[in-house]
Amino acid sequence: MELVLPPKKKKSGWKTVKNWGIFLFLTVMYIWTFTGIDIDWGRAFDRMVNNFQRVIPKLFNPEWTSLGKVWTAMVETLYIAFAGSLMAAIIAIPLGFLAAQNMTKSKVLTTFGKWILSGIRAFPDLILAILFVVAVGPNPFAGVLAIAIGSTGMLGKLYSEVLESIDMNIVEAMEASGANKVQILFHGVIPQIIPEFLSYAIYRFEIDVRASTILGIVGAGGIGTLIQFAQMNRNWEEMGLILLVIIVVVTIIDFLSASIRKRIV
Protein backbone atom coordinates (compact mmCIF):
# COMPACT_ATOMS: atom_id res chain seq x y z
CA MET A 1 0.00 0.00 0.00
CA GLU A 2 1.50 3.30 -1.08
CA LEU A 3 1.76 5.97 1.59
CA VAL A 4 0.51 9.32 0.39
CA LEU A 5 2.00 12.28 2.21
CA PRO A 6 -0.07 15.43 2.59
CA PRO A 7 1.08 18.30 0.37
CA LYS A 8 3.45 20.75 2.03
CA LYS A 9 2.01 24.13 2.78
CA LYS A 10 3.66 26.87 0.83
CA LYS A 11 4.78 29.88 2.73
CA SER A 12 2.90 32.99 1.78
CA GLY A 13 4.84 35.89 0.36
CA TRP A 14 3.64 38.19 3.15
CA LYS A 15 4.96 35.82 5.84
CA THR A 16 8.37 35.71 4.18
CA VAL A 17 8.49 39.50 3.95
CA LYS A 18 7.47 39.76 7.62
CA ASN A 19 10.20 37.34 8.74
CA TRP A 20 12.85 39.20 6.76
CA GLY A 21 11.54 42.49 8.18
CA ILE A 22 11.91 41.21 11.74
CA PHE A 23 15.42 39.94 11.01
CA LEU A 24 16.50 43.27 9.48
CA PHE A 25 14.95 45.22 12.36
CA LEU A 26 16.81 43.17 14.97
CA THR A 27 20.05 43.48 13.01
CA VAL A 28 19.70 47.28 12.82
CA MET A 29 18.89 47.43 16.54
CA TYR A 30 22.03 45.45 17.44
CA ILE A 31 24.22 47.62 15.22
CA TRP A 32 22.67 50.82 16.59
CA THR A 33 23.13 49.59 20.17
CA PHE A 34 26.82 48.73 19.85
CA THR A 35 27.64 51.91 17.92
CA GLY A 36 25.65 54.04 20.33
CA ILE A 37 27.50 52.97 23.50
CA ASP A 38 30.84 53.92 21.91
CA ILE A 39 32.96 50.89 22.87
CA ASP A 40 36.69 51.16 22.35
CA TRP A 41 37.16 47.53 21.33
CA GLY A 42 40.96 47.73 21.17
CA ARG A 43 41.27 49.17 24.67
CA ALA A 44 38.67 46.77 26.04
CA PHE A 45 40.56 43.80 24.58
CA ASP A 46 43.89 45.04 25.97
CA ARG A 47 42.40 45.52 29.46
CA MET A 48 40.79 42.09 29.33
CA VAL A 49 44.07 40.41 28.43
CA ASN A 50 45.91 42.37 31.12
CA ASN A 51 43.33 41.51 33.78
CA PHE A 52 43.35 37.86 32.82
CA GLN A 53 47.11 37.77 33.28
CA ARG A 54 47.12 39.78 36.51
CA VAL A 55 43.82 39.12 38.31
CA ILE A 56 42.51 35.70 37.28
CA PRO A 57 45.48 33.69 38.68
CA LYS A 58 44.97 35.42 42.05
CA LEU A 59 41.25 34.58 42.05
CA PHE A 60 42.19 30.90 41.74
CA ASN A 61 44.53 31.22 44.73
CA PRO A 62 42.04 31.88 47.59
CA GLU A 63 43.23 33.48 50.81
CA TRP A 64 42.15 30.73 53.21
CA THR A 65 43.16 32.74 56.29
CA SER A 66 40.09 34.94 55.68
CA LEU A 67 37.67 32.01 55.70
CA GLY A 68 36.32 32.84 59.16
CA LYS A 69 35.17 36.38 58.39
CA VAL A 70 33.98 35.41 54.91
CA TRP A 71 31.83 32.59 56.32
CA THR A 72 30.41 34.93 59.01
CA ALA A 73 29.43 37.43 56.31
CA MET A 74 27.90 34.63 54.21
CA VAL A 75 25.79 33.47 57.15
CA GLU A 76 24.60 37.04 57.63
CA THR A 77 23.66 37.09 53.95
CA LEU A 78 21.60 33.92 54.42
CA TYR A 79 19.86 35.51 57.41
CA ILE A 80 19.01 38.57 55.32
CA ALA A 81 17.66 36.44 52.47
CA PHE A 82 15.61 34.19 54.76
CA ALA A 83 14.09 37.02 56.81
CA GLY A 84 13.29 39.05 53.69
CA SER A 85 11.80 36.06 51.85
CA LEU A 86 9.66 35.11 54.87
CA MET A 87 8.31 38.66 55.18
CA ALA A 88 7.59 38.76 51.46
CA ALA A 89 5.83 35.38 51.49
CA ILE A 90 3.48 36.68 54.21
CA ILE A 91 2.87 40.17 52.78
CA ALA A 92 2.25 38.78 49.28
CA ILE A 93 -0.68 36.60 50.40
CA PRO A 94 -3.28 39.40 50.87
CA LEU A 95 -1.96 41.17 47.77
CA GLY A 96 -2.28 37.94 45.79
CA PHE A 97 -5.91 37.57 46.92
CA LEU A 98 -6.55 41.21 46.03
CA ALA A 99 -5.14 40.75 42.51
CA ALA A 100 -7.05 37.51 41.81
CA GLN A 101 -10.26 38.13 39.85
CA ASN A 102 -12.06 35.04 41.15
CA MET A 103 -11.38 36.02 44.77
CA THR A 104 -12.47 39.67 44.80
CA LYS A 105 -15.19 39.38 42.12
CA SER A 106 -14.42 43.05 41.44
CA LYS A 107 -12.57 44.33 38.41
CA VAL A 108 -11.68 47.58 40.19
CA LEU A 109 -10.07 45.81 43.18
CA THR A 110 -8.28 43.31 40.95
CA THR A 111 -6.86 46.09 38.77
CA PHE A 112 -5.79 48.01 41.89
CA GLY A 113 -4.05 44.92 43.25
CA LYS A 114 -2.24 44.27 39.97
CA TRP A 115 -1.09 47.91 39.84
CA ILE A 116 0.37 47.64 43.34
CA LEU A 117 2.30 44.48 42.43
CA SER A 118 3.50 45.97 39.13
CA GLY A 119 4.66 49.12 40.92
CA ILE A 120 6.64 47.09 43.45
CA ARG A 121 8.28 44.99 40.73
CA ALA A 122 9.43 48.16 38.97
CA PHE A 123 12.13 48.76 41.62
CA PRO A 124 15.31 46.61 41.51
CA ASP A 125 16.54 45.22 44.83
CA LEU A 126 19.66 47.39 44.71
CA ILE A 127 17.62 50.60 44.38
CA LEU A 128 15.40 49.52 47.26
CA ALA A 129 18.51 48.77 49.33
CA ILE A 130 19.85 52.28 48.71
CA LEU A 131 16.52 53.80 49.79
CA PHE A 132 16.33 51.71 52.96
CA VAL A 133 19.99 52.38 53.84
CA VAL A 134 19.08 56.07 53.79
CA ALA A 135 15.92 55.41 55.82
CA VAL A 136 17.17 53.02 58.54
CA GLY A 137 20.94 53.31 58.25
CA PRO A 138 23.69 51.05 56.83
CA ASN A 139 22.85 47.74 58.51
CA PRO A 140 21.46 44.29 57.63
CA PHE A 141 17.90 45.43 58.46
CA ALA A 142 18.01 47.64 55.37
CA GLY A 143 18.87 44.55 53.33
CA VAL A 144 15.99 42.59 54.88
CA LEU A 145 13.51 45.34 53.99
CA ALA A 146 14.87 45.60 50.44
CA ILE A 147 14.56 41.85 49.90
CA ALA A 148 11.09 41.77 51.49
CA ILE A 149 9.63 44.55 49.35
CA GLY A 150 11.39 43.42 46.17
CA SER A 151 10.19 39.84 46.56
CA THR A 152 6.62 40.81 47.41
CA GLY A 153 5.94 41.99 43.87
CA MET A 154 6.96 38.72 42.24
CA LEU A 155 5.36 36.46 44.85
CA GLY A 156 2.12 38.44 44.85
CA LYS A 157 1.83 38.07 41.09
CA LEU A 158 2.53 34.33 41.22
CA TYR A 159 0.10 33.86 44.12
CA SER A 160 -2.67 35.64 42.20
CA GLU A 161 -2.09 33.39 39.19
CA VAL A 162 -2.29 30.30 41.42
CA LEU A 163 -5.54 31.56 42.95
CA GLU A 164 -7.05 32.23 39.53
CA SER A 165 -6.26 28.66 38.45
CA ILE A 166 -7.91 26.82 41.37
CA ASP A 167 -10.91 24.56 40.83
CA MET A 168 -13.88 26.88 41.44
CA ASN A 169 -16.29 23.96 41.27
CA ILE A 170 -15.23 23.07 44.82
CA VAL A 171 -15.93 26.61 45.99
CA GLU A 172 -19.30 26.71 44.23
CA ALA A 173 -20.28 23.33 45.72
CA MET A 174 -19.45 24.57 49.23
CA GLU A 175 -21.43 27.78 48.64
CA ALA A 176 -24.41 25.72 47.46
CA SER A 177 -24.23 23.57 50.61
CA GLY A 178 -24.41 26.65 52.84
CA ALA A 179 -20.75 27.08 53.85
CA ASN A 180 -19.73 30.57 54.95
CA LYS A 181 -16.77 32.58 53.62
CA VAL A 182 -14.36 31.44 56.33
CA GLN A 183 -15.21 27.76 55.80
CA ILE A 184 -14.81 28.14 52.04
CA LEU A 185 -11.44 29.83 52.54
CA PHE A 186 -9.99 27.23 54.92
CA HIS A 187 -11.52 24.10 53.37
CA GLY A 188 -12.02 25.00 49.70
CA VAL A 189 -9.28 27.45 48.75
CA ILE A 190 -6.27 27.07 51.06
CA PRO A 191 -5.83 23.28 50.55
CA GLN A 192 -5.56 23.92 46.80
CA ILE A 193 -3.00 26.73 47.00
CA ILE A 194 -0.66 25.74 49.88
CA PRO A 195 1.68 23.44 47.86
CA GLU A 196 2.28 25.98 45.09
CA PHE A 197 2.51 28.92 47.52
CA LEU A 198 5.24 27.10 49.45
CA SER A 199 7.01 26.07 46.26
CA TYR A 200 7.11 29.65 44.96
CA ALA A 201 8.24 31.00 48.34
CA ILE A 202 11.16 28.55 48.44
CA TYR A 203 12.06 29.35 44.84
CA ARG A 204 12.06 33.05 45.68
CA PHE A 205 14.41 32.32 48.60
CA GLU A 206 16.89 30.89 46.07
CA ILE A 207 16.75 34.15 44.12
CA ASP A 208 17.02 36.26 47.26
CA VAL A 209 20.20 34.50 48.38
CA ARG A 210 21.84 35.59 45.14
CA ALA A 211 20.41 39.10 45.41
CA SER A 212 21.56 39.45 49.03
CA THR A 213 25.19 38.84 48.09
CA ILE A 214 25.45 42.28 46.44
CA LEU A 215 23.34 44.41 48.79
CA GLY A 216 26.34 45.00 51.04
CA ILE A 217 27.91 47.06 48.26
CA VAL A 218 25.49 49.87 49.18
CA GLY A 219 25.75 49.26 52.93
CA ALA A 220 22.86 46.81 53.43
CA GLY A 221 24.94 44.13 55.16
CA GLY A 222 26.05 40.68 54.12
CA ILE A 223 28.96 39.42 52.11
CA GLY A 224 28.62 42.25 49.60
CA THR A 225 30.47 44.49 52.07
CA LEU A 226 33.51 42.19 51.90
CA ILE A 227 33.27 42.17 48.10
CA GLN A 228 33.45 45.96 48.10
CA PHE A 229 36.41 46.07 50.50
CA ALA A 230 38.30 43.37 48.57
CA GLN A 231 37.73 45.25 45.31
CA MET A 232 38.82 48.59 46.80
CA ASN A 233 41.98 47.04 48.28
CA ARG A 234 42.71 45.00 45.12
CA ASN A 235 42.79 41.91 47.34
CA TRP A 236 41.96 39.44 44.59
CA GLU A 237 42.96 36.41 46.65
CA GLU A 238 40.27 37.27 49.20
CA MET A 239 37.86 38.00 46.36
CA GLY A 240 38.52 34.51 45.03
CA LEU A 241 37.65 33.01 48.42
CA ILE A 242 34.45 35.09 48.60
CA LEU A 243 33.36 33.95 45.15
CA LEU A 244 34.14 30.33 46.01
CA VAL A 245 32.04 30.49 49.20
CA ILE A 246 29.15 32.10 47.32
CA ILE A 247 29.25 29.49 44.55
CA VAL A 248 29.33 26.56 47.00
CA VAL A 249 26.56 27.91 49.25
CA VAL A 250 24.27 28.93 46.38
CA THR A 251 24.76 25.56 44.67
CA ILE A 252 23.87 23.65 47.85
CA ILE A 253 20.80 25.83 48.43
CA ASP A 254 19.66 25.36 44.82
CA PHE A 255 19.97 21.58 45.13
CA LEU A 256 18.12 21.42 48.47
CA SER A 257 15.46 23.86 47.31
CA ALA A 258 14.78 21.92 44.11
CA SER A 259 14.47 18.71 46.11
CA ILE A 260 12.07 20.26 48.62
CA ARG A 261 9.93 21.92 45.94
CA LYS A 262 9.70 18.63 44.04
CA ARG A 263 8.41 16.85 47.14
CA ILE A 264 5.92 19.62 47.94
CA VAL A 265 4.42 19.86 44.46
**What confidence tens digit (pLDDT) does each residue in 93-112 have?**
999 999 998 888 888 999 99
Residues 6+ apart with CB under 8 A from 129: 142, 143, 146, 215, 218, 219, 220
Q: Which residues of the chain have pLDDT under 70?
A: 1-13, 39-41, 265
| Residue 215 · residue 193 · CB < 8 Å | no
Task: Identify the pLDDT of residue 11.
Answer: 53
pLDDT value of position 157 = 93
- Say what the pLDDT of residue 5 is: 56
- What confidence score (pLDDT) does residue 20 get? 87
pLDDT at 8: 57
Q: Nearest-CA neighbor of 196 among 143, 131, 130, 262?
A: 262
Does domain 63-262 match CATH 1.10.3720.10?
Answer: yes
Q: Where are the domains of the chain?
A: 63-262
Q: Tell me, what's the pLDDT at 92?
A: 94
